[in-house]
């Protein structure tokens, strides 16, 4: 055999083995994690979940390249408690923050950022926090995040043209001028700052193992702006649509978010780390009726009943997409139920570390990777539980195919069979007294009292729309 050909074949063989080992090593070590959380994005607001009018090609790409979950649940039906469940692995019957009041996380609360930081990850967060005010133990920098840029509370986050944001524990002034929560001089759109900071974080940490949490504020409304609350620099690409202006803006906000998701995916590819990065995309609760937005206009809840502030499926069932090239089969659809409080133990298992002991969540990693499909013979997920406090105590529980909802503490318990009634239109409580009894037991056992909640102090709570 010609020596030159023999040498070439040997070189190609070594190259192939090297490439194979590189891929194996990349997948044997824990991945980078990017977790994108939209704000008030409905189950039906994305093309991959049935939306026909709003354009979301980049988010739809995540679905095409990964797994799309059809039964994932948020932590709550409003902002702060949903994020608390996500961060701490506890549902709203046990977690510290169960309403939109400005209650801070305490030092004894263990967040997913702390778990991953202790496992050697660089941790960054950009967007909206909602779990602690200045000079409290609830600050992101006190709860495991090395890098933090954004809004501390949900009211400040209503305004997309703020006069300052927080960077670390210091205020970062902006050129916008604000009066009563609404900008009178609009220079810088906060969503642009967040996207730029996220891309910079990826650049700075491309050689590290990192956890980047991106709780972006789109498409939440600016409640203080009334019917003009869907703040966006332009209503493109919907300018020529014959829709009400608020709906043009609402759609534009979602497509704006989609463009930023595309920028993040493109940056991962540009840096050569897409294959070693797992990307999650979801929303903190159902769609809103604020700032002039009309959730019926775009069928933002899809086939589900209810919107934000409801414990029906439309208020708490959210999109969940996960992409991990080489580990998650492209285009898979999975109906396995899971919830935000499962994220902490899932990510802990993903990086090979332990979860805190007293949490409600379980690891869903085998399901996410497609290594364990939904099977009626398997041990079921513990019952899913939610409570909500803006109009007194409301509760909901899901177990097996059953969903029970009580909208007031003294109200009747409604029961729905989600297998045959996904839209929760037919209350079958009277026909299933045994199931109702089981639901009542779970509701009674799933919560502990909280010193922060008016109902647990014997007070009548007020409504605080945020």
Q: List, for residues 322-354, the tens digit of each pLDDT value.
A: 999 999 999 999 999 999 999 999 999 999 999
CA proximity to 453, closest of 88, 95, 140: 95
| pLDDT of 27 | 52
Name the residue among 408, 382, 383 with its Cα closest to residue 395. Answer: 408
Confidence of residue 299 (pLDDT cuts 50, 70, 90): very high
Q: What average pLDDT does the structure give for the chain? A: 92
C-alpha–C-alpha distance, residues 442 and 404, integer Å: 10
User: What 3-state class would DSSP assign to 192?
Assistant: helix
Question: Which class does domain 384-457 fall in?
Answer: alpha beta
**pLDDT value of residue 26:** 42
Angle between helices 245-270 and 57-65 (to 10 degrees): 50
What does residue 233 show for φ and ψ, rounded to 5 degrees? Answer: -60, -30
On the question of pLDDT at 213 being above 80, the answer is yes
Domain with CATH 3.40.720.10 in the chain: 27-368
Task: Quote the percentage of the chain above a pLDDT of 90.
Answer: 88
How far apart, in whole angstroms, are the C-alpha atoms of residue 405 and residue 86?
A: 22
Give me the pLDDT at residue 14, please. 36
Residues of the chain with CATH 3.30.1120.10: 384-457
Instruction: Inform me whether the pLDDT recorded for 17 exceeds 50.
Output: no
Which residues fall within 8 angstroms of residue 305, CB to CB, at 6 or more apart?
312, 313, 314, 423, 424, 425
* Residue 380 Cα to chain centre, angstroms: 23
pLDDT value, residue 143: 98
Task: Give the pLDDT mean for 171-191.
Answer: 98
Mean pLDDT of 375-381: 60
pLDDT reported for residue 459? 81
pLDDT value for 461: 59
CATH code reported for the domain at 27-368: 3.40.720.10
pLDDT at 466: 55
Nearest CA among 286, 212, 251 for reference residue 52: 251
């Amino acid at each position: 055999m010609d020596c030159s050909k023999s040498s070439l074949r040997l070189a190609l063989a070594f190259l192939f083995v090297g490439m194979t080992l590189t891929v194996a090593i990349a997948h044997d070590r824990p991945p980078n994690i990017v977790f994108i959380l939209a704000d008030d994005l409905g189950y039906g607001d994305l093309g991959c979940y049935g939306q026909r009018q709003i354009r979301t090609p980049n988010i739809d790409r995540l679905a095409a390249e990964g797994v799309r979950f059809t039964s994932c649940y948020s932590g709550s039906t409003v902002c702060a408690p949903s994020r608390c469940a996500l961060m701490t692995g506890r549902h709203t019957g046990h977690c510290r923050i169960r309403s939109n009041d400005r209650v801070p996380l305490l030092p004894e609360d263990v967040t997913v950022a702390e778990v991953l930081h202790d496992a050697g990850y660089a941790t960054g967060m950009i967007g909206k926090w909602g779990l602690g005010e200045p000079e409290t133990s609830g600050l992101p920098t006190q709860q495991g995040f090395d890098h933090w840029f954004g809004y501390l509370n949900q009211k400040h986050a209503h305004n997309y043209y703020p006069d300052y944001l927080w960077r670390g524990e210091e205020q970062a002034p902006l050129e916008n001028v604000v009066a009563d929560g609404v900008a009178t001089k609009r220079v810088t759109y906060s969503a642009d700052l967040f996207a730029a900071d996220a891309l910079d974080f990826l650049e700075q940490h491309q050689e590290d193992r990192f956890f980047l949490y991106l709780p972006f504020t789109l498409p939440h409304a600016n409640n203080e702006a009334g019917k003009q609350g869907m703040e966006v620099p332009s209503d493109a690409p919907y300018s020529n649509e014959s829709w009400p202006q608020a709906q043009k803006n609402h759609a534009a906000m979602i497509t704006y978010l989609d463009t930023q998701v595309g920028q993040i995916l493109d940056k991962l590819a540009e840096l050569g780390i897409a294959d070693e990065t797992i990307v999650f995309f979801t929303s903190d609760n159902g769609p809103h009726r604020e700032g002039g937005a009309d959730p019926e206009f775009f069928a933002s809840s899809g086939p589900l009943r209810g919107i934000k502030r409801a414990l029906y499926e439309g208020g708490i069932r959210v999109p969940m997409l996960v992409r991990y090239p080489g580990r998650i089969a492209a285009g898979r659809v999975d109906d396995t139920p899971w919830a935000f409080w499962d994220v902490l133990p899932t990510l802990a298992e993903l990086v090979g570390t332990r979860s805190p002991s007293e949490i409600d969540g379980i690891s869903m990693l085998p399901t996410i990777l497609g290594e364990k499909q939904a099977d009626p013979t398997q041990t079921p997920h513990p019952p899913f539980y939610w409570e909500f406090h803006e109009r007194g105590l409301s509760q909901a529980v899901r177990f097996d195919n059953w969903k029970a909802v009580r909208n007031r503490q003294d109200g009747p318990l409604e029961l729905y069979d989600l297998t045959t009634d996904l839209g929760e239109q037919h209350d079958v409580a009277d026909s299933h007294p045994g199931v109702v009894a089981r639901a009542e037991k779970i509701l009674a056992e799933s919560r502990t009292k909280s010193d922060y909640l008016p109902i647990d102090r014997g007070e009548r709570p007020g409504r605080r729309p945020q």
